[in-house]
A and B are shown apart, each in its own frame.
Chain A
Amino acid sequence: MTAPAPAPAETPAEAPVPAAAPRRGAGRPPGARAWRTRVSAVLTAATVLAALLVPAVFPLDQQAVDLAAKLRPPSWEHPFGTDELGRDLLLRCVHGLRVSLLVGVVAALVATVVGIAVGGLAGALGGRTDRLVMRVVDVFASVPHLLLGIFVVAMFRPGVWPVIASVGLTHWLSTARIVRAETHSLRSRPYVDAAISGGASRWRVAVRHLLPGVLPQAGLAAVLMVPHAIWHESALSFLGLGIPAHQASLGTMAEAARGSLLAGAWWPALWPGLFIVVPTLAIAGLAGAWRERINPRVRSELTL
């Protein structure tokens, strides 16, 4: 009985919200979401700066082994502690982050370029080409992509580039679908008709009129891909298939920490885990904020 009473009181308070919702690209996300975006931005910036600057500013050897100081808990000398070979965990985490970020960004770029090419081809040409290409996409999507990725890395000697190829070549499917759908809707716009009537070639229509309309969505997909690619790099390295075990990456460090955990040392496992989770959530949060600006009606589940 009391439930209907507050409703009229709330309605006027909420009514202005849709009216005051900012246009695309104007203002910041409304209210409580703003601080989450800021936190995401600060954490992302800190991650990127740390990965870029720390090795340059502190040219210390991440592989320096000190067996006398193995498995030391966090202290002033080693803020994150040391691993089972006495290597400084903070230094190795930062170097691992560099590898993971490199893999994440380059793999996301590869996936996006392939996705735009395939999706754009299918969407712009339409008809039989479209159906054929999208069925191929469906076939690829029917196989678990971590498994596909394992097949790809297994073909090469371990290293950074096979991991990039593995993640990049298995993650273009969703981008291709997004780009194809967007291209399809743009293709039937009258301005494309006008361009054709004005003598524009297929290529010109695709590059000048369709591609620019697709780029915001594809760019968003690319940013969303970065954390996903970082997780895949970590997963592959954890399984011993990605980055070689001696090289610091967040995945190899997490794998090496399993043995230490049994010896009662929690710190070699905690820090790589945090370095995987926090930056990826921060990047995903930024992407979510971007998506809400492109399409304000979709509430992103990805903000921190």
Chain B
Amino acid sequence: MPEPISGPTHEPLPEPIPGPTREPVPGPATGSALEMRGVTAGYDRRAPVLHGASLTVGDGEAVGLLGPSGCGKSTLARVAALLHRPRAGTVRLAGRMAYGFRHRAPRELRTTVGVVFQQPRLAADPRLTLADLIAEPLRATGRRAEAPGRLPALAASVGLGGDLLARRPHEVSDGQLQRACLARALVLRPRLLICDEMTAMLDASTTAALVAAVEEYRREHGTALLAVGHDRVLLERWCDRTVDFGALLPR
């Protein structure tokens, strides 16, 4: 069982060190970006996917979650993003306990987490242009006016050319669409970014570019990261530490 971990708050992150898991640096106790305790969740009452999983992501920390397909990684990520109501257990985001999930979660709590999903085609509303897609969370939270000022810089930071912003999802590639989805996840400046198999559909160079964009953003804003995947090499290079899914469950 990993202990609750706290990382440096909103300070430039050190370069991720390639290689095996390294111990996080103990920092001031500021409350973790994500703290899950004994979470049991699933889609069938009788056969939950998760049995009492616990996971802590410190503020500003990057955690890689590894596991075979079907083991419940994505379910864990959905619970962490308050998108799926667990049967049991607690979820704290930035120290605040979540008492509701999906629409029942307070908007301020939901928006402390940004999520990038595995399949950009399914995660993007096919009717919106990329600009509207990225600005959607701003509109939803009544901050539409900020969109024109922030969009170009944000799009550029994820490597999305300005000429692409007027296009719709079916007119761009998977990689370009995933960049837009990343920008959408970052537009509200979340405390925690969850990348659920963000790069599974993408080629090596796009993967590298997206990871670099995430790291660039995190260096600037000190956002915590939960990267879910099954690519051990990638996650160990990317994250401060990696956790095997099995280690989250009680013995």
Interface string of A191-204 (1 = CB under 8 A from B): 10111111111101
Are B136 and A190 in contact, with the CB atoms below 8 A? no
Contact of A197 among B114, B119, B125, B127 (CB under 8 A): B114
Cβ-defined partner of B111 (8 Å) among A189, A190, A198, A205: A198
- When the two chains form their complex, are residues B188 and A191 in contact, meaning their CB atoms are under 8 A apart? no
User: In the complex, which of the residues B115, B125, B127, B137 contacts A199, with contact meaning CB atoms closer than 8 Å?
Assistant: B137
Interface pair A193/B83, CB less than 8 Å apart: yes
Q: Which of B19-27, B102-110, B207-215, B229-237 contacts A (4 or more CB under 8 A)?
A: B102-110
Cβ-Cβ contact count across A and B, 8 Å cutoff: 66
Enumerate chain A residues within 8 angstroms of B103, measured Cβ to Cβ. 196, 201-202, 205
Asked if A144 is an interface residue, CB under 8 A from chain B, the answer is: no
Given contacts A191-B122, A191-B124, whether A201 and B117 have CB atoms under 8 Å apart is no
Tell me if A209 is interfacial: C-beta within 8 Å of chain B: yes
CB-defined contacts of B124 to chain A, threshold 8 Å? 191, 194
| Chain B residues within an 8 Å CB radius of A189 | 122
Q: Known contacts A190-B117, A204-B140: does B123 contact A196 (CB below 8 Å)?
A: no
Task: Collect the chain B residues with CB atoms within 8 Å of residue A194's CB.
Answer: 115, 117, 123-124, 181, 184-185
- B122 nearest CB neighbor, chain A only: A190
Q: Is B30 an interface residue (CB 8 A)?
A: no
- Considering only CB atoms and an 8 Å cut-off, how many residues of chain A contact the other chain? 18
- Using C-beta atoms within 8 Å of the partner chain, give the interface range for chain B: 20 to 34
Inside 8 A of A205's CB, which chain B residues have their CB?
Answer: 103
B78 at the interface (CB under 8 A from A): yes
Complex contact B83–A198 (CB within 8 A)? no
Within 8 A of A (CB), among B109-148: 110-111, 113-115, 117, 119, 122-125, 127, 136-137, 140-141
Q: Which residue of A lies closest to B81 (CB)?
A: A197
For A198, list chain B residues within 8 Å (CB): 111, 136-137, 140-141, 184, 187-188
CB pair A197–B122 under 8 Å, yes or no, is no
Contacts of A197 in B (CB 8 A): 81-83, 110-111, 113-115, 137, 185
For chain B, residues 174 to 213, give those with C-beta under 8 angstroms from any C-beta of chain A. 181, 184-185, 187-188
For A193, A195, A209, the residue with the greatest tally of chain B CB atoms inside 10 Å of its CB is A193
In the complex the two chains form, is B125's CB within 8 Å of A196's CB? Answer: no
| CA–CA, A40 and B115, complex, Å | 49
B177 to chain A, nearest CB (A): 11
How far apart sit A190 and B169, CA to CA, in the bound complex (Å)?
Answer: 14
Q: How far is the CB of A200 from chain B (nearest CB, A)?
A: 4
How far apart sit A204 and B83, CA to CA, in the bound complex (Å)? 16
Q: Which chain A residues (183-232) contact chain B, with CB distance < 8 Å?
A: 189-191, 193-202, 204-205, 208-209, 212
Q: With A and B bound together, what is the CA distance between A212 and B132 in angstroms?
A: 15
CA distance A189 to B127 in the complex (A): 14
Q: Check A199/B188 contact, CB under 8 A, given A193-B115, A193-B117.
A: yes
Contact (Cβ within 8 A) A195 B115: no
Among B83, B119, B187, which residue has its beta carbon within 8 angstroms of that of A196?
Answer: B83
Most-contacted residue by chain B among A193, A199, A208 (CB, 10 A)? A199
- Cα distance, A209 to B127, chains bound together (Å): 9
A195 touches B117 (CB 8 A): no
> Residue of A at shortest CB range from B84?
A193
Q: Report the Cα distance A197→B181, complex, angstroms.
A: 12
- Report the minimal beta-carbon distance from A125 to chain B, rounded to whole angstroms: 10
Do B140 and A199 touch (CB < 8 A)?
yes
Chain B's closest residue to A205 (CB) is B103
Give the distance in Å from the alpha carbon of A198 to the alpha carbon of B187 in the complex. 9
Q: Closest Cβ of chain B: how far from A184's Cβ, in Å?
A: 15
Q: Across the interface, do B140 and A195 meet the contact criterion of CB distance under 8 Å?
A: yes
Find residues 111-165 in chain A having any chain B CB closer than 8 Å to their own CB.
Answer: none
Further pairs besides A196-B103, A197-B83, A205-B103: 14, Cβ < 8 Å: A190-B122, A191-B122, A193-B123, A194-B115, A194-B184, A194-B185, A197-B110, A198-B141, A198-B184, A199-B110, A199-B141, A200-B136, A201-B103, A204-B140
A contact residues vs B (CB 8 Å cutoff): 189-191, 193-202, 204-205, 208-209, 212
By a beta-carbon cutoff of 8 Å, the part of chain B in contact with chain A is 78, 81-83, 102-103, 107, 110-111, 113-115, 117, 119, 122-125, 127, 136-137, 140-141, 181, 184-185, 187-188
* 10 nearest A-B residue pairs (beta carbon): A198-B137, A200-B140, A190-B123, A199-B141, A190-B122, A199-B111, A199-B140, A191-B125, A199-B107, A190-B117
